[in-house]
Amino acid sequence: MPAFSPDEIEALKRRLRALEAVMARSSDAIIITDADNRIVEVNPAFTRLSGYTPKEARGSTPNFLASAKTTRASYDAFWADLLRDDVWQGEMWDRAKDGSLYPQWLTVSVIRDAAGAIQNYVVHFSDLGEHAETTAELARMAHFDALTQLYNRSAFESLLPQALHNAQRDNRQVAVLVIDLDRFKNVNDSLGHAIGDQLLKGVAERLRESVRASDIVARIGGDEFIIVLPDIENALSVAGVTSKLKHNLADSYRVGPHTLYATPSIGIALFPADGTDAATLLKNADAAMYHAKAQGRNNFQFFSEGMNIAALERMKIENGLRLAIESTRLGTAGQFHLYFQPQLHIDTNRIVGLEALVRWFHPEWGSMPPAQFIPIAEDTGLIQPLGDWVFWESCRQLRILRDAGIADIRVAVNLSAQQLRHADLPAVVHGALACYDLKPTDLELEITESAAMQNPAATIAILNQLSDTGIVLSIDDFGTGYSSLSYLKNLPVQRLKIDRSFVQEIEVSRDDHAICSATIALGHHLDLELVAEGVESEGQRQLLEKLGCDVLQGFFYSKPLPATEILIFLKNWQATQVAA
Ligand code: C2E
Ligand code: CA
Ligand code: CA
């Protein structure tokens, strides 16, 4: 023992008091243990957070704080990391004296003596729970998403590489699950963000409950979540977890007066098979998620190389679409054509309108269905020039029909949500009408229910502008969205088009029959004309007539026909009507 002079002892005492004061005033809880990990010192913040006095804590290991949420595996991983790096940071759940669980962001440091032997461990942490003080609150905000309390994007971005690093070291597999909620946007757009937020909170809770505490669950964007399973046996065990997720999320959510659903589309990439770094794994899990969505939602997909091929395919279509649009001129035979499908009034049997449906004939690939290229046109903004062409071409064709003696027929054009957001839409529409000497009442615009629900105030303003001039507006695919009656009342629409899917099953499904019946009653109550689309049989026609539907459209009368054929069809129809 070296001997200290009285002055040196005094100086050491002062230093000790200063350090004690720092410990005492720190809002972070601090635990100091000895080389055997027995607690030698704790500070008042520790007592405040955990409920244990220094007397109760001294002599035991910090293990008595551990909650069952911390698994053996993650505990072992913690020690391995700490002894390798001499410092460890991360989240752990602890149990306070009163039994409550609290998450904490821990920093553990190893203090070694000059010879390198462990002398102490120093643990400090801030409470991340409800009673957190400002500093702890800030720490929490830096790592956790405020709405759902899951990890946020930035925490996730440091946790995933760490998990991959550990898996590499221990020769383990990791699964990365990208989860996107189906049609969540509809909820937000139609019921408002407050309701959307509540739904997200509910989803987050169920996600957290569906996996182990040591699994990483993060919210990285609006309705996008990621789960990392840091230690999996094989692909099959991931499929087990995914089925559980799907099952747990399938139940409805009660939010205020609403009953909502939020089914997930899940894409899965595995380390190391599908990628050895975070960026590649995320990219591939994302591709798998898009694939799951395309497969009809509420579904999960493992990544495969084929998906990158699908992404390439999509790019190919996008480029083809770009070229086709650039080379499209009004009146010349480009790659796009309009087909027309007649709509009949049920009482008079007269054709009252034609729906214009775009067709794309590619010189190499042949005909490409709109369901395949319209969504790509929408995602890329190409729907704007394509939509403009559809307007002008519809008006041009209607003028040709008029000049051939077909009067009193309207043409109905489909509008995408994006077009509806463009302030110059009324100008384009009226320009095309004027150019072909047509009246606004000669044109009908079909807007899907979900498009009409987006950005309600702006949408209503544009629709009012269009409707004020006499253009007819209809809600397309009615029954597939979340529109509320009170909202519908505010829209200047004249027609409701019952979605094809309900008409298809009207003879065999009691539910679909009831939906058609209720929609027609509701529509009539709001003074709207009811159009049923996808009518394929006499049986369906009869039922719709009985329910009081006004207008019918479908293969039962005619498939969509190219312009030259529709003229012949209309002439023949007129002739049979006159004869009858
Ligand atoms: P939509 O607006 O619901 O159009 C009706 C779809 O139902 C058309 O498919 C039509 O061919 C089909 N259909 C009509 N009658 C029957 C029937 O009796 N049975 C069956 N099974 N199907 C029937 P199409 O032409 O493939 O168009 C698909 C979708 O693509 C359209 O659905 C519309 O959303 C979109 N689309 C088509 N043309 C345009 C366009 O010019 N602009 C925009 N924005 N979207 C378009
Ligand atoms: Ca339509
Ligand atoms: Ca439709």
> pLDDT tens for residues 66-109?
776 667 777 888 888 888 888 888 777 777 777 777 667 788 99
Average pLDDT over residues 547-573: 97
Confidence at residue 380, expressed as pLDDT on a 0 to 100 scale: 82
Q: What percent of the chain has pLDDT over 70?
A: 94
Residues β-bridged to residue 255: 258
- Tell the residue nearest (CA) to atom 15 of ligand 1: 554
CA atoms of 189 and 195, how far apart (whole Å): 10
Backbone angles phi and psi of 91, in degrees to 5: -100, 140
pLDDT in tens, 163-201: 999 999 889 999 999 999 988 888 888 788 899 999 999
Q: Are strands 336-345 and 443-448 parallel, antiparallel or unpaired?
A: unpaired
- Tell the residue nearest (CA) to atom 22 of ligand 1: 534
Asked if pLDDT for residue 46 goes beyond 60, the answer is yes
pLDDT in tens, 377-395: 988 889 999 999 999 999 9
Nearest ligand 1 atom to alpha carbon 377: 44
Kindly state if the Cβ of 357 falls inside 6 Å of ligand 1: yes
CA of 429 to the centre of ligand 2 (A): 17
Output 28 or 68, whichever has higher pLDDT. 28
From 359, 360, 414, 504, the mutation candidate for ligand 1 (largest count of ligand atoms within 8 A of CB) is: 414
Kindly state if the Cβ of 495 falls inside 6 Å of ligand 1: no
Q: What pTM, to 2 d.p., does this model score?
A: 0.61
Kindly state if the Cβ of 198 falls inside 6 Å of ligand 1: no
Nearest ligand 1 atom to alpha carbon 413: 41
pLDDT in tens, 258-293: 888 888 999 999 999 999 999 999 999 999 998 888
CB atoms within 10 A of CB 289: 26
Kindly state if the Cβ of 287 falls inside 6 Å of ligand 1: no
Kindly state if the Cβ of 451 falls inside 6 Å of ligand 1: no
Kindly state if the Cβ of 375 falls inside 6 Å of ligand 1: no
| Tokens encoding 504 | 């298809």
Per-chain mean pLDDT for the chain: 88
pLDDT band at 50 (very low <50, low <70, confident <90, very high): confident
Asked if pLDDT for residue 460 goes beyond 80, the answer is yes
Kindly state if the Cβ of 534 falls inside 6 Å of ligand 1: yes
CA atoms of 302 and 313, how far apart (whole Å): 19
Kindly state if the Cβ of 479 falls inside 6 Å of ligand 1: no
Output 85 or 323, whichever has higher pLDDT. 323
Confidence at residue 358, expressed as pLDDT on a 0 to 100 scale: 97
Kindly state if the Cβ of 341 falls inside 6 Å of ligand 1: yes
- What is the SS3 assignment for 360? strand
pLDDT band at 508 (very low <50, low <70, confident <90, very high): very high
Asked if pLDDT for residue 550 goes beyond 50, the answer is yes
Confidence at residue 131, expressed as pLDDT on a 0 to 100 scale: 43
- Tell the residue nearest (CA) to atom 41 of ligand 1: 358
Kindly state if the Cβ of 386 falls inside 6 Å of ligand 1: no
| Residues, Cβ < 5 Å to ion ligand 3 | 476-477
Kindly state if the Cβ of 99 falls inside 6 Å of ligand 1: no
Confidence at residue 223, expressed as pLDDT on a 0 to 100 scale: 92
Average pLDDT over residues 339-348: 96
Ligand nearest to the CA of 499: 3
Of 152-161, 290-299, 461-470, 540-549, least confident by mean pLDDT is 290-299
Asked if pLDDT for residue 132 goes beyond 50, the answer is no
pLDDT in tens, 135-155: 556 666 778 898 999 999 989
Confidence at residue 2, expressed as pLDDT on a 0 to 100 scale: 63
CA of 479 to the centre of ligand 3 (A): 10
pLDDT in tens, 213-262: 889 999 998 899 999 999 888 877 888 888 889 889 888 899 988 888 88
Q: Are strands 29-34 and 495-498 parallel, antiparallel or unpaired?
A: unpaired
From 359, 397, 500, the mutation candidate for ligand 1 (largest count of ligand atoms within 8 A of CB) is: 500
Average pLDDT over residues 56-61: 89
Nearest ligand 1 atom to alpha carbon 535: 18
Confidence at residue 206, expressed as pLDDT on a 0 to 100 scale: 95
| Tokens encoding 454 | 């987006």
Asked if pLDDT for residue 119 goes beyond 60, the answer is yes
- Tell the residue nearest (CA) to atom 27 of ligand 1: 370
CA of 475 to the centre of ligand 3 (A): 9
Q: Which residue has the tokens 């499908």?
A: 341
Nearest ligand 1 atom to alpha carbon 357: 38
Q: Which of 455, 428, 424 is nearest to 443 (CA)?
A: 428
CA of 482 to the centre of ligand 3 (A): 16
- Tell the residue nearest (CA) to atom 24 of ligand 1: 370
Q: What residues contact 284, with CB distance under 8 A and at least 6 apart?
A: 267, 269, 274, 275, 303, 307, 308
Cβ atoms of 90 and 155 within 8 Å: the answer is no
Asked if pLDDT for residue 5 goes beyond 80, the answer is yes
Confidence at residue 546, expressed as pLDDT on a 0 to 100 scale: 97
Asked if pLDDT for residue 411 goes beyond 90, the answer is yes
Asked if pLDDT for residue 368 goes beyond 60, the answer is yes
Of 36-40, 208-212, 388-392, 478-482, least confident by mean pLDDT is 478-482
Q: What percent of the chain has pLDDT over 90?
A: 53
Confidence at residue 467, expressed as pLDDT on a 0 to 100 scale: 95
Confidence at residue 229, expressed as pLDDT on a 0 to 100 scale: 95
Confidence at residue 572, expressed as pLDDT on a 0 to 100 scale: 95
